[in-house]
Amino acid sequence: MEPAISPVSDSQRALGAPETPWRRFYRAFTGSKLAVAGLVLFVAIALIAVFAPLLAAQNPYDLAQLDVLDGRMKPLTKASSGALTYWLGTDDQGRDILSGIFYGLRISLSVGLVSAFIGALIGSSLGLTAAYFGRRVDSVIMRLVDLQLSFPTILIALMILAFLGKGVVNVVIALVIAEWAAYARTARGAALVERHKEYVEAAEALAIPSAKIIFRHLLPNCLPPLIVIATVQVARAIALEATLSFLGVGVPVTEPSLGLLIANGYQYMLSGEYWISFFPGIALLLVIVSINLIGDQLRDVLNPRGQE
């Protein structure tokens, strides 16, 4: 049975106003209030991250602006200098938690997004290539994937750290190395299905070069699962960065990401100075949940069965 053959709806499309895939996508996406809420939340968070320097009362990365004597202040206390109020308290260095969260969002988000993007780029290229050429190319790439998957990320992160020193860029590199395999597997899986569809054969019959077939024909058709994976991976990358920071191999201590803020405050958790860890934790939670909400809806929208 050809599930899609229904000239009725086809003709309706042919007759009605041409609806671009994007518009259709928009309509489907906005179908879920939860997802829209997630999107709004994410946009808000992204804006905060972008405009953090304008919004934050303090530059938490400028050590000269911090004062150890203001360390571990409760939420809503005034700074000893009187210049600002610590709405969410301070950490042990006297860093304003709210400002820290704003700036930390910047780091966490950019680390997450950039690493997911680069990982997606590398991973899906490799996955598509593996699926398209098959055989030896496939074996080699998939063994690389295996290798990656059985390698603890922490060890990779340490090696990167040793090779390149500490820094946000190096964390991104570590995350990319940790993440590309997921994309490669997904892309390969999707492409293996697409690869045997007749439009690919048609392109071959038309002597279209392999690179073009891979990137112009296969890639766009493998995008839905990749986009879904990407949202999950962004969230995963942010969480992983937090974990790496927790284990002491993440971003530089003086420029804490959300994860590092949490990790730093962790020792104060039991002693009642909960805010150091708690509020960044909530921020991290919001980020990841908003991304996942979006990803969830994407999954439903991009899945052809899920429509209507």
Partner 1 sequence: APAGSLNIGLGGAVTTIDPHFFNATPNQVIAHCLFDRLTERSPSGRLEPGLALSWKAVTPTVWEMKLRPNVKWSDGKPFTADDVLFTINRARNVPNSPGGFSGFLRDIAKAERVDDLTLRLVTPAPAPNLPAQLAFVAIVSRHAGEGASTDDYNAGRKTIGTGPYKLVKYVPGDRVELERNDAWWGPKQPWQTVTFRLIPNPAARVSALLAGGVDVIDDVPPADLPNLSKNKAVHVASIPGMRLIFLALNFKAKTGSKWATDTDGKPLAKNPMLDRRVRLALSESINRTAIADRLMQKTAVATGQWLPPGAYSYANSVKVPPYDVGEAKKLLAEAGFPQGFKLTLQTPNDRYPNDAGVAQAVAQMWSRIGVQTTVDARPWNVYQRERDDYMAALWGWGSPTLEAGYLLSNVLETPDKSKGHGVFNFGNYSNPQLDSLTDKAMSTLDDGTREKLLVEAVEMASRDVAMIPLLQMSNFWATRVGYVMTPRMDERTLPINVAPEAAK
Partner 2 sequence: MNTTSEAGSDLQAAAACGARRAEVPIVEMQDVSKVFAPRLGLIEKGVTKLGLARPAPAVHAVQGVSLALRKGRVLGLVGESGCGKSTLGRIAAGILPVSSGRLMWHGEDVAHMSAKQRRRGRLRTQMVFQNPFAALNPRMRVSDIVGEAPRQHGLIDGPVAPYVDEQLRRAGLDPSLKDRYPHQFSGGQRQRIGIARALAVKPDVLICDEAVAALDVSIQAQIVNLFMSLRERLDLTYLFISHDLGIVRHLSDDVAIMYLGRVIEEAPAHEIFSHANHPYTRLLLEEMPRIDTKNRTFPLVQGDLPSPLAPPSGCHFHPRCPFAFARCRTEKPLLKEVQAGHWSACHLNDQGS
Partner 3 sequence: MTDIIDQHAPPRSDVVLDVRGLKTWFPTRAGEVKAVDEVSFSLTRGRVLGLVGESGSGKSVTGFSIMGQLEPPGRVVEGSILFGGRDLTTLDRESMRRLRGKRIAMIFQDPMMTLNPVLKVGTQMIEAILAHDQVSKAQARERSTAALAAVGIPSPAERLSAYPHQLSGGMRQRVAIAIALLHRPELIIADEPTTALDVTIQAQIIAQVQRLVRELGMTLIWITHDLSVVSRLADDVAVMYAGRIVEYGKAEDVLNAPRHRYTVGLIESVPSRNRPGERLRQIDGITPSLLALPTGCAFRTRCDAADAQCAAAQPLRTHGTHSHRCCHPVAAHEALR
54 binds ligand ATP (CB under 6 A): no
CB of 110 to partner 3, least distance (A): 38
Stretch that binds ligand ATP, among 3-11, 22-30, 165-173, 210-218 (CB under 6 A): 3-11
The residue (of 26 and 199) whose beta carbon lies closer to partner 2 is: 199
User: Would you list the DSSP string of the chain?
Assistant: --TT--HHHHHHHHHSPPPPHHHHHHHHHTT-HHHHHHHHHHHHHHHHHHTHHHH-SS-TT-GGG--GGGTTPPTTEEPTTSS-EETT-B-TT--BHHHHHHHHHHHHHHHHHHHHHHHHHHHHHHHHHHHHH-HHHHHHHHHHHHHHHTS-HHHHHHHHHHHH-SSHHHHHHHHHHHHHHHHHHHHHHHHHHHHTSHHHHHHHHTT--HHHIIIIIIHHHHHHHHHHHHHHHHHHHHHHHHHHHHTT-SS-TTS--HHHHHHHHHTTTTTT-THHHHHHHHHHHHHHHHHHHHHHHHHHHHSGGG--
Stretch that binds partner 1, among 120-128, 218-226, 244-252, 280-288 (CB under 8 A): 244-252
207 binds partner 2 (CB under 8 A): yes
Q: Choose the contact partner of 152 out of partner 2, partner 3, ligand ATP, none; CB within 5 to 8 A by kind.
A: none
Give the C-alpha separation, 267 to 276, whole Å.
Answer: 9
Which x/- pattern, by CB under 6 A, does the window 161-190 give for ligand ATP?
------------------------------
Burial class (CB in 10 A: 0-12, 13-18, 19+), 212: exposed
Name the one residue in this structure whose structure tokens are 């959300």: 258
Q: Choose the contact partner of 66 out of partner 3, partner 2, partner 1, none; CB within 5 to 8 A by kind.
A: partner 1
6 binds partner 3 (CB under 8 A): yes
What is the total residue count of the chain? 308
Stretch that binds partner 3, among 7-15, 47-55, 106-114, 258-266 (CB under 8 A): 7-15
12 binds partner 3 (CB under 8 A): yes
Stretch that binds ligand ATP, among 6-14, 35-43, 174-182, 242-250 (CB under 6 A): 6-14
CB of 160 to partner 1, least distance (A): 11
17 binds partner 3 (CB under 8 A): no
One-letter amino acid identity for 71? G
155 binds partner 1 (CB under 8 A): no
Which x/- pattern, by CB under 8 A, does the window 103-142 give for partner 2?
--------------------------------x-------
30 binds partner 3 (CB under 8 A): no
The residue (of 13 and 143) whose beta carbon lies closer to partner 3 is: 13
- Out of 32, 65, 110, 221, the only residue in the binding site for partner 2 (CB under 8 A) is 221
Three-class HEC string of 234-266: HHHHHHHHHHHHHCCCCCCCCCCCHHHHHHHHH
- Note the residues at the interface with partner 3 (CB under 8 A): 1-2, 5-12, 14-15, 308
The binding site for partner 2 (CB under 8 A) comprises 2, 4-5, 7, 10-11, 13-14, 18-21, 135, 197-199, 201-209, 212, 216-217, 220-221, 223
